[in-house]
Amino acid sequence: MLKDYATVWDNCLRTIRRNVNSQSFKTWFEPIKPVRLDRDALIIQVPNKFFYEWLEEHYVALLKMTIRQELGETGRLEYQILMNKNQEEQNQTSTPTKKGKDIHAPGGIDTGSIKNPFVIPGIKKLKIDPQINPSYTFDNFIEGDCNRLARSAGLAVAKKPGGTAFNPLVIFGDVGLGKTHLAQAIGNDILRNNPTKTVLYVSSEKFTNQIIESIRNNAVNDFVNFYQQIDILIVDDIQFLANKVKTQEIFFHIFNQLHQGGKQVILTSDRPPKDLDGMAERLISRFKWGLSADLQAPDLETRMAILESKMNQEGLELPYDVCEFICYNIKNNIRELEGVLISIVAQSTLNRREIDIGLTKEVIKNFVTQMSKEITVPFIQKLVADHFDVPVDKLKGQTRKRGIVIARQLSMYLAKNLTNKSLKAIGENFGGRDHSTVIYSCKAVQDLLDTDMIFKDTVTDLEKKIKMSLNEK
Ligand code: ADP
Ligand code: MG
């Protein structure tokens, strides 16, 4: 007796309905459409790959049993995966009949044969806007000790996405140190060298909102489906996924799919993976599979190089001493460095003022909080102690070790020359020494300056550093 496919599927559904709860039935079986009967195979259409995998994972035994009941011992199911809406529309005119590809039955036949159900002959790959800013490149990501590892790992990943041990690549560091720039530089490089790769940049915030939206619209499957098509996924600021259980769960699923498929995942975070509180342990352990590379605050030379590069980009020119002044004072955030540069230029244009240290100081004060205009004795003590690598306390104590004595005397000398404090006030800052000790110290330093060129250079450097700094309190 010949059966038609709709009747066969109806009968199957009747059995299935008795075996699963109504919510599952609604979610996983109602959306299935029978397509045709091909001898002992019933072809059914499912909305996406995720759907198919879910059925495979959870209902394979039930489906097998049901279909055999209807079609006999050799009966089997074949799946057809419906492409998502955009793809359908995009391809409707070109190949309207080839929406899907028949894939294997869950009844145990040829389960290893599907690799990627989205690459279907005759159907173009979905074009996805990578959401990447083309101006973030490796060329303008200045290299320094602070970023060498992360930058070279980024270059390696860009050269061979998914093909290095750096998967995922986790770039972490404080705000404004270049995480987004570096992550996007990788994306840009890949897009330039492999235009067929699908790259996607997404902030964790956007990712989370997309998930919330897809849950609301009952479209989580489409969401997951979409992300599974990405070859290089960049998720920025994953610390914002902390404590978002559902988002983490879905991200975990997507991550695994991509990673297993040899796709590249790049993540950024404001702290190392192990310190991501509120993140599921299984996710943290995945993050550690690849490489975590940090970005540190750049040193003075690197800051100067970055500032110069920004000026070139913007077509600006600033006097050298102004650049130096900016870089001495903005240490921990490159975005601030740029902010200061732009503000100085804006202030100078708006108020028709020459760009000099005076204007620069005013601008910088708006960026750096807790600034004091004055050079203070404790500030000098700290700089000198750091330079000689001795604890500040020792400058105030009684130690007669030569290195410490010199640092102590030099601090007094600089305090006398660079502050307007009285000799008595200076002495008080050094464990209550009296003014004659300060005079004696200044004399000793002066003698050394007159005879020791190296010492003289050191002192000149320190003086410059102190004058250049708007000292933090
Ligand atoms: P984060 O994402 O870590 O907060 P961003 O990537 O947004 O930091 O970087 C802040 C700004 O600093 C950006 O404009 C970026 O171009 C710039 N920047 C950071 N590091 C470098 C670098 N090494 N060379 C040039 N510019 C940099
Ligand atoms: Mg960022």
Which pLDDT does position 470 carry in this prediction?
A: 62
- Ligand 1 binding pocket (C-beta < 6 A) is 140-142, 147, 173, 175-181, 306, 309, 334-335, 338
> Where do we find the tokens 């995945």?
286
Which pLDDT does position 26 carry in this prediction?
A: 77
When divided into structural domains, the chain yields a total of 4
CA 51 to chain centre: 31
Residues 409 and 365 in one domain: no
Flag whether the pTM goes above 0.75. no
Question: If you measure from the C-alpha of residue 335 to the centroid of ligand 1, how many angstroms do you get, rounded to a whole number?
Answer: 6
pLDDT single digits (tens) 16-37: 998 888 767 877 788 888 999 9
Q: What is the mean pLDDT of the chain?
A: 85
Using the predicted structure, report yes or no on whether residue 271 has a pLDDT greater than 90: yes
Look at 367 and 414; give whichever has higher pLDDT: 414
Residue 360: name the closest of 329, 326, 317, 312 by CA.
326
Question: If you measure from the C-alpha of residue 277 to the centroid of ligand 2, how many angstroms do you get, rounded to a whole number?
Answer: 19
Question: If you measure from the C-alpha of residue 184 to the centroid of ligand 2, how many angstroms do you get, rounded to a whole number?
Answer: 10
Look at 371 and 292; give whichever has higher pLDDT: 292
> What is the domain-level CATH number for residue 395?
1.10.1750.10
Domain-located, residue 18? yes
Domain-located, residue 428? yes
The closest-lying atom of ligand 1 relative to the alpha carbon of residue 175 is 4
Compute and round to an integer the Cα radius of gyration of the chain.
Answer: 33
Angstrom CA distances, 29 to 21, 38, 415, stand at 11, 21, 82
The closest-lying atom of ligand 1 relative to the alpha carbon of residue 181 is 6
Residues 276 and 316 in one domain: no
> Where do we find the tokens 């059925």?
55
pLDDT single digits (tens) 379-403: 999 999 999 999 999 999 999 999 9
Give the whole-angstrom CA distance, residue 138 versus residue 183. Answer: 10
**Cβ neighbours of residue 200 under 8 Å, at least 6 residues apart?**
128, 130, 131, 227, 230, 232, 233, 234
Q: Which of 185-189, 199-203, 309-313 has the lowest mean pLDDT?
A: 309-313
> Where do we find the tokens 């009967």?
37
Domain-located, residue 123? no
Which pLDDT does position 202 carry in this prediction?
A: 95
Question: If you measure from the C-alpha of residue 334 to the centroid of ligand 1, how many angstroms do you get, rounded to a whole number?
Answer: 6
Q: Which of 295, 330, 352 is the last residue of a domain?
A: 295
Residues 410 and 329 in one domain: no
- Testing ligand 1's pocket by substitution, the residue of 333, 334, 340 carrying the most ligand atoms inside 8 A of its CB is 334
> What is the domain-level CATH number for residue 25?
3.30.300.180
Look at 58 and 218; give whichever has higher pLDDT: 218
Secondary structure letter of residue 84 according to DSSP: P
pLDDT single digits (tens) 68-105: 889 988 888 888 876 544 443 333 322 223 333 333 33
Which pLDDT does position 126 carry in this prediction?
A: 56
Angstrom CA distances, 49 to 218, 265, 276, stand at 16, 20, 31
pLDDT single digits (tens) 323-366: 999 999 998 899 989 989 988 988 888 888 899 999 998 888 87
Which pLDDT does position 95 carry in this prediction?
A: 27
Residues 344 and 438 in one domain: no
Which pLDDT does position 348 carry in this prediction?
A: 86
Question: If you measure from the C-alpha of residue 141 to the centroid of ligand 1, how many angstroms do you get, rounded to a whole number?
Answer: 8
Domain boundaries, position 227? 148-295
Using the predicted structure, report yes or no on whether residue 106 has a pLDDT greater than 80: no
Which ligand sits nearest to residue 136's alpha carbon? 1
Residues 387 and 342 in one domain: no
Which pLDDT does position 465 carry in this prediction?
A: 83
Q: Which of 81, 108, 126 is the last residue of a domain?
A: 81
Residues 155 and 284 in one domain: yes
Give all strands of the β-sheet with 41-46 in edge-to-edge order: 33-38, 41-46, 76-81, 102-103
Residues 238 and 275 in one domain: yes
CA 342 to chain centre: 25
- Testing ligand 1's pocket by substitution, the residue of 142, 151, 170, 181 carrying the most ligand atoms inside 8 A of its CB is 181
> What is the domain-level CATH number for residue 182?
3.40.50.300
Give the whole-angstrom CA distance, residue 361 versus residue 470. Answer: 8
Q: Which of 350, 369, 388 is the last residue of a domain?
A: 369
Which ligand sits nearest to residue 314's alpha carbon? 1
Domain-located, residue 92? no
pLDDT single digits (tens) 399-438: 999 999 999 999 999 999 998 899 999 999 999 999 999 9
| Interval 232-237 mean pLDDT | 97
Residues 313 and 286 in one domain: no
Question: If you measure from the C-alpha of residue 319 to the centroid of ligand 2, how many angstroms do you get, rounded to a whole number?
Answer: 30
Residues 184 and 47 in one domain: no
Question: If you measure from the C-alpha of residue 135 to the centroid of ligand 2, how many angstroms do you get, rounded to a whole number?
Answer: 14
- Angle at CA 263, nearest 5°, toward 294 and 281? 55
Domain-located, residue 103? no
| Interval 130-154 mean pLDDT | 95
296, two tokens: 């540190």
Secondary structure letter of residue 82 according to DSSP: P
Domain-located, residue 279? yes
Atom 11 of ligand 1, residue of closest alpha carbon: 335
Residues 415 and 450 in one domain: yes
Residues 352 and 401 in one domain: no
Which pLDDT does position 174 carry in this prediction?
A: 94
> What is the domain-level CATH number for residue 349?
1.10.8.60
Give the whole-angstrom CA distance, residue 317 versus residue 323. Answer: 10
Which pLDDT does position 464 carry in this prediction?
A: 85
Residues 241 and 358 in one domain: no
Domain-located, residue 117? no
188, two tokens: 């840009």
Which pLDDT does position 101 carry in this prediction?
A: 36
Domain-located, residue 111? no
Which pLDDT does position 91 carry in this prediction?
A: 32
pLDDT single digits (tens) 333-342: 999 899 899 8
Using the predicted structure, report yes or no on whether residue 181 has a pLDDT greater than 90: yes
Q: Which pairs from 414-419 meet CB under 8 Å and 24+ separation?
A: 414/380, 414/384, 414/459, 414/462, 414/463, 414/466, 415/377, 415/380, 415/381, 416/442, 417/463, 418/375, 418/380, 418/463, 418/466, 418/467, 419/374, 419/375, 419/376, 419/377, 419/380
Give all strands of the β-sheet with 199-203 in edge-to-edge order: 199-203, 232-236, 264-269, 169-173, 291-295
Of the chain, the percentage scoring pLDDT greater than 90 comes to 63
